[in-house]
Structure 1
Amino acid sequence: MATKPASFVTFGMFIVDEIEWLPPSTKERKTNLIGGAGTYAVLGAKLASSPCQIISKNISWIVDVGSDFPSVIRNNIDEWNTDCNYRVDDTRLTTRAWNGYGENELRSFKYITPKKRLEVQDLSSRQLLSKSFHMSSREKISLPAQMPVIVWEPIPDLCLPDQLATLQSAMQGCTIVSPNHEELKTFFNADVANNEEPALLVKRLMGWKQTHESPSTLTTPIVREGANGSTAYFHHRHTDTITSVHLPAYHTSAMQSLVIDPTGGGNTYLGALAIAMTDSLQSQPTYALIKKNIGTASTVATAMIYATIAASFVIEQHGVPNLDRTKVFTEIFEYWNGQPFIDRLKIYLQRESEAIKRQLSLIPG
């Protein structure tokens, strides 16, 4: 019997987070929070596929469980109903990290127990055949004939000028490469970073030039811009011109009181983006709703919409959003922070679909 491939797999880690607010803040420290780039990416894929439990069970990942793994966290993860492989090792501690929050958005991060990275050889055959992958470091995978979607977020510590050539080589075969707006700048010296438009920085990042040759692979850069949303850039090689599609964040300036902690928002965005770039969601009511509002001209724009909505739930609290699930006859409903994913999607499309369609109309066929 042939192995059924997963819809989504992450190479990112699971981490138990703690948050400490630095003086003069008197906020109480929070401990045993679900965290890690891989965890949030899985949550993004889960949110994008909500409430479909069949797709949810095709979201596959590995959680390294140490001797101190909190049972309450396992219960929380199990509620997501994903294909989670708990890899237990009682000889080590669970990977934990400390996050320090200071004034003026100052943030500090450090591991407080040894980390354990995932390697290609850790994956099952089902995971290796996945339709999509999320990566923080660039892994080498023996890819099947049907190329999967690969979404890569470069490690911030390696977003440096002397790593640019390495990045350009490593992105070959990636579907999406996605630094955030600050990481994009750190690939270049200050004069370039502070004086060039983002589109020109992206052009330098990607090494785009005028050519009449078809590229062997086509990688789309998407720059995540925090509260300002995200922008995808498209290079038209014959004319050496660039067009872009910008999607605002779900939370407008009038809604900022709902934004509590942006931690994990970018990872969640990319997990949702990855699964939405495949055909996994095309039978879902959410996909039909997006198609009705913007058409199917751009798989990237469709995926960005899913990603924008998914990320919006994660930043409304410290840690992960609350999930309530109910069943009416045979139909399952999922409420994230009290709201179904599709309801938030409807609000966003009502507000933004015309602007998105206008931008898509400017991209040459």
Structure 2
Amino acid sequence: MAASADHPHFVTLGMFIIDNFSFLDDQGLATGKHLDPQIGGGGTYASIGARIWLSADRLGMVVDRGHDFPDAIQQKLLSYGQDMWLFRDNPDCPTTCALNSYRGDHRGFEYLTPRIRITPHDLVNTRLERSRILHFICSPSRAAAIMSEVQAIDGWLPITIYEPIPDRCIPQELPALIAILPSISILSPNAEEALSILSMPLPATKPRIEEACAKLLEFGIGSDGNGSVIIRSGGMGAYVATRSRGGKWIDAFWNDASGKVVEVTGAGNSFLGGLAAGLVSTEGNVYEAVLYATVSASFTIEQEGLPHMTRADNNGEAVELWNGDSPERRLGELVERHAQHN
């Protein structure tokens, strides 16, 4: 899985979004809670999930920068490493923005500006072309269009991580999903999405998640039929399976009782960026890579917005800390937990 100096390990086609927020109670009255606009977008969170493990020059995403792009957000992105961002200026357009609205327990999401999609062709002749691993978040029909573009680029055979978009995880989309699965290396819905598209009932229990995973594997993942399904299941952890090696549960690093879970937005995206980095570090072992993914998600849920990266000195060696902690330390702790289970 070693990358050449010419091509990055990981690239996402997910978008960059500036998130705005509205908080109302059950009666539709303002709660008084306020959040300033924040960096958002599934691609952004996936990139940071990978950045926790990889240097900035080994990964990347396209950021469409409108005429109103805030300087504070620009500086925040650059703090993670300027090499990971490929800025694409659109002086005649605003930056993609969205509204996250909360009314009681209900959450809504809507775009406030037109979306600017990123395609594989957008990566050609840039430093992000021909990545070893490609991540995308979309409907099954859009995934088919993406894979058609990938296959048209001579000699590019990336590992593909497909994250289905939530509002397309419905039974009507199952035929389109089945059609694209042979072209996909790794399929990763969350538990509710997996059950929904398969017309299986909620709640999402471990037995139902395992059954859903088995059904998805039966459709055939990957060109050889031995791709992977990873069902992200919140506080229960993640269930990862292949036809040849069966399924395995990986615990969440923080569960709901830990007191560490502040905001889960972006956790699944960050998980999949961490998964990609784990595939690099473990030479393609998807079961071990989920441990890296789980650690990436653990940093994302500890605050509202992206995790914080700082640099520290460790006996003369510069190290990166995330939320003041070491990813390697958390990885070791998670590995030890699973060793004790076995």
The TM-score normalised by the length of structure 1 is 0.81
> Which range is displaced more, 34-43 or 143-152?
143-152
Query: How far apart, in 1, do the equivalents of 2:133 and 2:200 lie?
Result: 35
Deviation of 1:350 (Å):
2.6
Contact 1:263 1:315 survives alignment (8 Å): yes
Contact 1:173 1:219 survives alignment (8 Å): no
Cα deviations across residues 234-282 of structure 1 (Å, max 9, x unaligned)? 325xxxxx83110111013441x2211100000000011123213xx36
Equivalent of 1:205 in 204, 209, 216? 216
Structure 2: stretches of 5+ with no match in the other structure: none
Output the aligned Cα RMSD.
2.6
Cα deviations across residues 76-114 of structure 1 (Å, max 9, x unaligned)? 11111142111111111100111123434x211111111
Q: 1:12 to 1:349 in 2, by over 3 A?
A: same
Query: How far apart, in 2, do the equivalents of 1:110 and 1:94 lie?
Result: 15
Deviation of 1:171 (Å):
1.9
Query: How far apart, in 2, do the equivalents of 1:192 and 1:65 lie?
Result: 40
Q: 1:269 to 1:27 in 2, by over 3 A?
A: farther
Contact 1:175 1:219 survives alignment (8 Å): yes
Which residue is equivalent to 2:197? 187
Which residue is equivalent to 1:306? 292
> Which range is displaced more, 216-225 or 22-31?
22-31
Q: 1:68 to 1:192 in 2, by over 3 A?
A: closer
Contact 1:48 1:307 survives alignment (8 Å): no
Is 1:235 the counterpart of 2:236? The answer is: no
SS at match of 1:48: coil
Cα deviations across residues 326-358 of structure 1 (Å, max 9, x unaligned)? 356873211211112112223322323333xx4
- Partner amino acid, structure 2, of 1:245: K
Which residue is equivalent to 1:221? 229
Of all paired residues, the percent bearing the same amino acid is 30
Number of equivalent positions: 323
Equivalent of 1:268 in 260, 267, 270? 270
Is 1:244 the counterpart of 2:247? The answer is: yes
Deviation of 1:192 (Å):
9.4
The TM-score normalised by the length of structure 2 is 0.86
Query: How far apart, in 1, do the equivalents of 2:334 and 2:204 lie?
Result: 32
The equivalences for 1:1-365 within 5 A come to 4-23=6-25, 26-49=31-54, 55-81=55-81, 82-104=83-105, 106-125=106-125, 126-137=127-138, 138=143, 139-140=146-147, 141-142=150-151, 145=155, 147-189=157-199, 197-208=208-219, 216-236=224-244, 243-255=246-258, 257-278=259-280, 281=281, 299-327=285-313, 331-355=317-341, 358=342
Query: How far apart, in 1, do the equivalents of 2:130 and 2:336 lie?
Result: 37
Query: How far apart, in 2, do the equivalents of 1:163 and 1:29 lie?
Result: 37
- Partner amino acid, structure 1, of 2:17: I
SS at match of 2:241: strand
Contact 2:178 2:219 survives alignment (8 Å): no
Which residue is equivalent to 1:293? none
Contact 1:149 1:277 survives alignment (8 Å): no
Q: 1:9 to 1:162 in 2, by over 3 A?
A: same
SS at match of 1:136: strand
Q: 1:224 to 1:79 in 2, by over 3 A?
A: same
Q: 1:84 to 1:329 in 2, by over 3 A?
A: farther
Q: 1:345 to 1:315 in 2, by over 3 A?
A: same
> Which range is displaced more, 304-313 or 135-144?
135-144
Query: How far apart, in 2, do the equivalents of 1:44 and 1:90 lie?
Result: 29
Cα deviations across residues 103-134 of structure 1 (Å, max 9, x unaligned)? 34x21111111111102221134423111111
- Partner amino acid, structure 2, of 1:233: A
Contact 2:192 2:204 survives alignment (8 Å): no
- Partner amino acid, structure 2, of 1:317: Q
